[in-house]
Amino acid sequence: MIFPRSDINKHLSNLGLVSSDTVMIHGDAGVAGQYIFKDSSSPLSSFILNLLDYFNNGTIIVPNFTYSATDGKIFEVDKTPSKIGKFSEIFRLMKGGHRSRHPIFSVSCFGEHAKYYSDTITTDCFGKDTLFDKLYINNVKILTLGCSLDRVTFTHFVEQNLNIPYRHFKYFKAHIKDKNKKNLEEVAVRYFVRNLNLDTNLDLSDLETEAIQAKKLVKKPFGRFLARTISADDFFNEAEKMIKKNKYALIKK
Protein backbone atom coordinates (compact mmCIF):
# COMPACT_ATOMS: atom_id res chain seq x y z
CA MET A 1 0.00 0.00 0.00
CA ILE A 2 1.22 3.47 -0.94
CA PHE A 3 0.44 6.54 1.16
CA PRO A 4 0.30 10.25 0.28
CA ARG A 5 3.13 12.40 1.58
CA SER A 6 0.72 14.21 3.90
CA ASP A 7 0.29 11.00 5.90
CA ILE A 8 3.83 11.34 7.29
CA ASN A 9 2.72 14.28 9.43
CA LYS A 10 -0.42 12.40 10.47
CA HIS A 11 1.64 9.41 11.56
CA LEU A 12 4.03 11.61 13.55
CA SER A 13 1.17 13.47 15.20
CA ASN A 14 -0.53 10.18 16.02
CA LEU A 15 2.54 9.25 18.06
CA GLY A 16 2.08 12.38 20.15
CA LEU A 17 5.03 14.19 18.58
CA VAL A 18 4.93 17.97 18.05
CA SER A 19 7.04 20.42 16.06
CA SER A 20 8.96 21.70 19.10
CA ASP A 21 10.14 18.27 20.27
CA THR A 22 13.76 17.22 20.49
CA VAL A 23 13.81 13.67 19.18
CA MET A 24 16.46 11.03 18.54
CA ILE A 25 15.43 8.90 15.57
CA HIS A 26 16.50 5.34 14.83
CA GLY A 27 15.14 4.72 11.35
CA ASP A 28 14.89 2.11 8.62
CA ALA A 29 15.22 3.46 5.09
CA GLY A 30 12.36 1.23 3.92
CA VAL A 31 9.84 3.46 5.69
CA ALA A 32 10.37 6.18 3.06
CA GLY A 33 9.44 3.88 0.18
CA GLN A 34 5.79 3.70 1.16
CA TYR A 35 5.06 7.39 0.47
CA ILE A 36 4.37 9.24 -2.77
CA PHE A 37 6.81 12.08 -3.46
CA LYS A 38 6.13 13.89 -6.73
CA ASP A 39 9.17 14.68 -8.88
CA SER A 40 11.57 13.11 -6.40
CA SER A 41 14.60 11.10 -7.46
CA SER A 42 15.25 10.09 -3.85
CA PRO A 43 12.23 9.14 -1.71
CA LEU A 44 14.51 8.77 1.32
CA SER A 45 15.88 12.31 0.99
CA SER A 46 12.34 13.62 0.53
CA PHE A 47 11.19 11.70 3.59
CA ILE A 48 14.01 13.17 5.69
CA LEU A 49 13.21 16.67 4.44
CA ASN A 50 9.62 16.09 5.55
CA LEU A 51 10.85 15.11 9.03
CA LEU A 52 12.98 18.25 9.22
CA ASP A 53 10.00 20.34 8.18
CA TYR A 54 7.72 18.69 10.75
CA PHE A 55 10.13 19.34 13.63
CA ASN A 56 10.85 22.88 12.39
CA ASN A 57 10.71 24.31 15.93
CA GLY A 58 12.58 21.43 17.54
CA THR A 59 15.71 19.33 17.07
CA ILE A 60 16.37 16.02 15.32
CA ILE A 61 19.27 13.76 16.29
CA VAL A 62 20.18 10.74 14.15
CA PRO A 63 22.99 8.23 14.86
CA ASN A 64 25.91 8.20 12.40
CA PHE A 65 27.95 5.59 14.25
CA THR A 66 31.26 4.69 12.60
CA TYR A 67 33.07 2.64 15.27
CA SER A 68 36.29 4.16 13.84
CA ALA A 69 38.23 3.96 17.09
CA THR A 70 37.36 0.31 17.65
CA ASP A 71 38.51 -0.48 14.09
CA GLY A 72 41.77 1.47 14.50
CA LYS A 73 40.79 3.93 11.75
CA ILE A 74 40.93 7.72 11.54
CA PHE A 75 37.56 9.39 12.11
CA GLU A 76 37.13 12.23 9.62
CA VAL A 77 34.26 14.26 10.98
CA ASP A 78 33.00 15.53 7.62
CA LYS A 79 33.80 12.43 5.55
CA THR A 80 33.66 9.12 7.43
CA PRO A 81 30.37 7.44 6.44
CA SER A 82 27.93 5.95 8.88
CA LYS A 83 28.07 2.18 9.28
CA ILE A 84 24.51 1.69 10.47
CA GLY A 85 22.37 1.92 7.37
CA LYS A 86 21.12 4.09 4.55
CA PHE A 87 18.72 6.19 6.64
CA SER A 88 21.61 7.22 8.87
CA GLU A 89 23.99 7.96 5.98
CA ILE A 90 21.54 10.00 3.89
CA PHE A 91 20.65 12.03 6.98
CA ARG A 92 24.37 12.70 7.53
CA LEU A 93 24.70 14.02 3.99
CA MET A 94 21.84 16.51 4.28
CA LYS A 95 23.05 20.12 4.15
CA GLY A 96 22.93 22.29 7.25
CA GLY A 97 23.44 19.65 9.92
CA HIS A 98 25.94 19.49 12.77
CA ARG A 99 27.90 16.26 13.18
CA SER A 100 29.49 15.40 16.50
CA ARG A 101 33.20 14.54 16.77
CA HIS A 102 32.78 11.27 18.63
CA PRO A 103 35.05 8.64 17.00
CA ILE A 104 32.69 5.76 17.79
CA PHE A 105 29.16 7.10 18.34
CA SER A 106 28.85 10.25 16.24
CA VAL A 107 25.45 11.77 15.50
CA SER A 108 24.07 14.39 13.11
CA CYS A 109 21.77 17.06 14.47
CA PHE A 110 19.41 19.58 12.88
CA GLY A 111 17.32 22.27 14.48
CA GLU A 112 17.27 24.75 17.32
CA HIS A 113 19.61 22.87 19.67
CA ALA A 114 21.70 21.04 17.06
CA LYS A 115 24.97 22.57 18.20
CA TYR A 116 24.32 21.69 21.84
CA TYR A 117 23.71 18.00 21.12
CA SER A 118 26.59 17.69 18.66
CA ASP A 119 29.06 19.34 21.04
CA THR A 120 29.91 16.46 23.38
CA ILE A 121 33.05 14.94 24.86
CA THR A 122 35.06 12.47 22.80
CA THR A 123 36.72 10.59 25.68
CA ASP A 124 33.72 8.54 26.82
CA CYS A 125 30.78 6.85 25.13
CA PHE A 126 27.98 6.77 27.70
CA GLY A 127 29.18 8.75 30.72
CA LYS A 128 28.82 12.33 31.91
CA ASP A 129 28.68 15.01 29.18
CA THR A 130 28.24 12.47 26.39
CA LEU A 131 25.38 12.72 23.90
CA PHE A 132 23.48 10.03 25.79
CA ASP A 133 23.87 11.90 29.06
CA LYS A 134 22.35 14.96 27.37
CA LEU A 135 19.44 12.86 26.11
CA TYR A 136 18.73 11.84 29.68
CA ILE A 137 19.21 15.24 31.30
CA ASN A 138 16.87 16.89 28.79
CA ASN A 139 14.39 14.01 28.63
CA VAL A 140 14.64 13.78 24.85
CA LYS A 141 12.07 11.67 23.01
CA ILE A 142 13.35 8.49 21.38
CA LEU A 143 11.65 7.42 18.15
CA THR A 144 12.07 4.16 16.24
CA LEU A 145 10.78 4.16 12.66
CA GLY A 146 10.45 0.71 11.14
CA CYS A 147 12.94 -0.90 13.50
CA SER A 148 12.66 -2.55 16.90
CA LEU A 149 13.34 -1.06 20.31
CA ASP A 150 16.52 -3.17 20.37
CA ARG A 151 18.13 -0.56 18.09
CA VAL A 152 17.99 2.10 20.82
CA THR A 153 21.61 2.79 21.80
CA PHE A 154 20.48 4.78 24.84
CA THR A 155 20.16 1.32 26.44
CA HIS A 156 23.94 1.26 26.95
CA PHE A 157 23.75 4.53 28.88
CA VAL A 158 21.31 2.81 31.23
CA GLU A 159 23.56 -0.25 31.52
CA GLN A 160 26.66 1.81 32.29
CA ASN A 161 24.89 3.96 34.87
CA LEU A 162 23.48 0.89 36.61
CA ASN A 163 26.79 -0.98 36.31
CA ILE A 164 25.40 -4.20 34.88
CA PRO A 165 27.76 -7.22 35.19
CA TYR A 166 27.95 -8.35 31.54
CA ARG A 167 29.83 -5.28 30.29
CA HIS A 168 33.14 -3.73 31.28
CA PHE A 169 35.24 -0.67 30.46
CA LYS A 170 37.81 -0.79 27.70
CA TYR A 171 39.90 2.05 26.28
CA PHE A 172 40.50 2.64 22.57
CA LYS A 173 43.01 4.99 20.97
CA ALA A 174 41.22 7.30 18.57
CA HIS A 175 42.39 9.73 15.89
CA ILE A 176 40.01 12.53 14.91
CA LYS A 177 40.42 14.69 11.81
CA ASP A 178 38.44 17.89 11.49
CA LYS A 179 37.76 19.66 8.21
CA ASN A 180 40.49 22.09 7.16
CA LYS A 181 42.82 20.94 9.95
CA LYS A 182 46.11 19.24 9.10
CA ASN A 183 46.85 17.70 12.48
CA LEU A 184 44.98 14.79 13.99
CA GLU A 185 43.64 14.88 17.52
CA GLU A 186 44.52 11.77 19.48
CA VAL A 187 42.30 10.74 22.39
CA ALA A 188 41.67 7.68 24.53
CA VAL A 189 37.99 6.72 24.44
CA ARG A 190 36.34 4.81 27.27
CA TYR A 191 33.75 2.32 25.99
CA PHE A 192 31.51 0.10 28.13
CA VAL A 193 31.92 -3.00 25.96
CA ARG A 194 30.05 -6.27 26.18
CA ASN A 195 31.38 -9.57 27.49
CA LEU A 196 31.98 -11.66 24.36
CA ASN A 197 31.71 -14.89 26.37
CA LEU A 198 28.00 -14.27 26.91
CA ASP A 199 25.05 -13.73 24.56
CA THR A 200 24.71 -10.08 25.42
CA ASN A 201 22.64 -9.06 22.40
CA LEU A 202 19.78 -6.83 23.47
CA ASP A 203 16.26 -8.14 23.86
CA LEU A 204 13.99 -5.28 24.90
CA SER A 205 10.71 -7.07 24.23
CA ASP A 206 9.91 -7.31 27.95
CA LEU A 207 10.86 -3.66 28.46
CA GLU A 208 8.54 -2.70 25.62
CA THR A 209 5.67 -4.66 27.17
CA GLU A 210 6.22 -3.14 30.60
CA ALA A 211 6.52 0.40 29.22
CA ILE A 212 3.32 0.04 27.19
CA GLN A 213 1.43 -1.26 30.20
CA ALA A 214 2.75 1.68 32.25
CA LYS A 215 1.60 4.02 29.45
CA LYS A 216 5.14 5.28 28.99
CA LEU A 217 5.71 3.96 25.47
CA VAL A 218 3.53 4.58 22.43
CA LYS A 219 3.59 1.92 19.69
CA LYS A 220 1.52 2.57 16.59
CA PRO A 221 1.49 1.89 12.84
CA PHE A 222 3.55 4.20 10.66
CA GLY A 223 2.02 3.22 7.36
CA ARG A 224 2.93 -0.43 6.81
CA PHE A 225 5.62 -0.25 9.50
CA LEU A 226 5.58 0.17 13.26
CA ALA A 227 6.91 3.14 15.19
CA ARG A 228 7.60 3.57 18.89
CA THR A 229 8.25 6.63 20.99
CA ILE A 230 9.30 6.95 24.60
CA SER A 231 11.05 9.69 26.57
CA ALA A 232 14.62 9.09 27.74
CA ASP A 233 13.56 9.51 31.37
CA ASP A 234 10.78 6.93 31.08
CA PHE A 235 13.07 4.55 29.21
CA PHE A 236 15.68 4.79 31.97
CA ASN A 237 13.15 4.38 34.80
CA GLU A 238 11.37 1.39 33.27
CA ALA A 239 14.69 -0.32 32.48
CA GLU A 240 15.97 0.39 35.98
CA LYS A 241 12.93 -1.31 37.56
CA MET A 242 13.62 -4.44 35.53
CA ILE A 243 17.36 -4.48 36.19
CA LYS A 244 16.80 -4.17 39.95
CA LYS A 245 14.84 -7.45 39.76
CA ASN A 246 17.14 -9.13 37.24
CA LYS A 247 20.52 -7.73 36.17
CA TYR A 248 20.24 -9.54 32.85
CA ALA A 249 16.73 -8.30 32.03
CA LEU A 250 17.74 -6.38 28.90
CA ILE A 251 19.67 -9.12 27.09
CA LYS A 252 18.93 -12.53 25.56
CA LYS A 253 20.83 -14.52 28.21
Return the pLDDT at 1: 81
Question: Pick from 29, 11, 9: which is nearest to 147 by CA?
Answer: 29
User: Rounded to an integer, what distance in angstroms lies between the CA atom of residue 143 and that of residue 217?
Assistant: 10
Question: Pick from 87, 107, 89: which is nearest to 98 by CA?
Answer: 107
User: Rounded to an integer, what distance in angstroms lies between the CA atom of residue 219 and that of residue 201?
Assistant: 22
> Is pLDDT at 211 greater than 80 in this prediction?
yes
> Is pLDDT at 136 greater than 80 in this prediction?
yes
In which band, very low, low, confident or very high, does the pLDDT at 198 lie, cut at 50, 70 and 90? confident
Return the pLDDT at 71: 97
In which band, very low, low, confident or very high, does the pLDDT at 199 lie, cut at 50, 70 and 90? confident
33-64 tens-digit pLDDT: 999 998 778 999 999 999 999 999 999 999 99
Return the pLDDT at 4: 94
* DSSP symbol at 83: S
* Other Cβ atoms closer than 10 A to 174: 25
User: Rounded to an integer, what distance in angstroms lies between the CA atom of residue 69 and that of residue 75?
Assistant: 7
77-134 tens-digit pLDDT: 999 999 999 999 999 999 999 999 999 999 999 999 999 999 999 999 999 999 999 9
In which band, very low, low, confident or very high, does the pLDDT at 197 lie, cut at 50, 70 and 90? confident
Return the pLDDT at 20: 98
Mean pLDDT of the chain: 96
> Is pLDDT at 253 greater than 80 in this prediction?
no
Return the pLDDT at 41: 84
The residue-averaged pLDDT of 239-251 equals 97
154-173 tens-digit pLDDT: 999 999 999 999 999 999 99
* DSSP result, the chain: --EETHHHHHHHHHTT--TT-EEEEEE-GGGGGGEE-TT-S-HHHHHHHHHHHHTTTSEEEEE----TTTTT-EEETTTPPPSS-HHHHHHHHSTT-EE---SSS-EEEEETTHHHHH---SSBSSSTTSHHHHHHHTT-EEEEESS-GGG-THHHHHHHHTT-TTEEEEEEEEEEE-TT--SPEEEEEEEEEE-TTS---B--HHHHHHHHHTT-EEEEEETTEEEEEEEHHHHHHHHHHHHHH-TTTTB--
Return the pLDDT at 182: 86
In which band, very low, low, confident or very high, does the pLDDT at 247 lie, cut at 50, 70 and 90? very high
Return the pLDDT at 134: 98
